[in-house]
Amino acid sequence: MPRFVKLATLEELPVGSAKEVEFEGRVYAIYNVEGVISAIDGICPHQGGPLAEGTVEGTTVTCPWHGWQFEIRTGKTPLGSKIKQAVYEVKVEGHDVLVAVP
Ligand code: FES
């Protein structure tokens, strides 16, 4: 059962920014795209690149290491349906960004 845990605040995530947060051994990449907060697994499934440091265009993040791309809101990639990045539900309560951690 996922539980919502505060992993960031809105002050830490201005529009257009991203933040990497480690919690209980997992790394989360949290993005603010045009005011909508999304969270995905922050470790690229290719070779472990830091997806929070990737370039974001629209709702697509490009891994800074070798360019794999992921749709921030769905975890899908143009590389094919066998690869899908985990996406975590996000709630904003006041100024707190809560992520549904597994
Ligand atoms: S580690 Fe992300 S594309 Fe290679």
What's 96's domain CATH number? 2.102.10.10
Residue 36 predicted with pLDDT over 90: yes
Number of domains forming the structure of the chain? 1
User: What spacing in Å lies between the alpha carbon of 95 and ligand 1's midpoint?
Assistant: 32
For residue 71, CA distances in Å to 11, 14, 33, 38, 94 come to 24, 19, 12, 10, 26
Residue 2 predicted with pLDDT over 90: no
Protein residue closest via CA to atom 4 of ligand 1: 66
Q: Which of 27, 46, 69 is the best mutation target for the ligand 1 pocket, counting ligand atoms within 8 Å of the beta carbon and taking the most?
A: 46
For 45, residues 6+ apart whose C-beta sits below 8 A from its C-beta are 68, 83, 85
Report the nearest atom of ligand 1 relative to the CA of 68. Answer: 3
Structural domain span for residue 45: 3-101
* Residue pLDDT, tens place only, 39-96: 999 999 999 999 999 999 999 999 999 999 999 999 999 999 999 999 999 999 999 9
- pLDDT number for residue 43: 98
Report the nearest atom of ligand 1 relative to the CA of 48. Answer: 1
Report the nearest atom of ligand 1 relative to the CA of 66. Answer: 3
- pLDDT number for residue 1: 74
CB 37 within 8 A of CB 92: yes
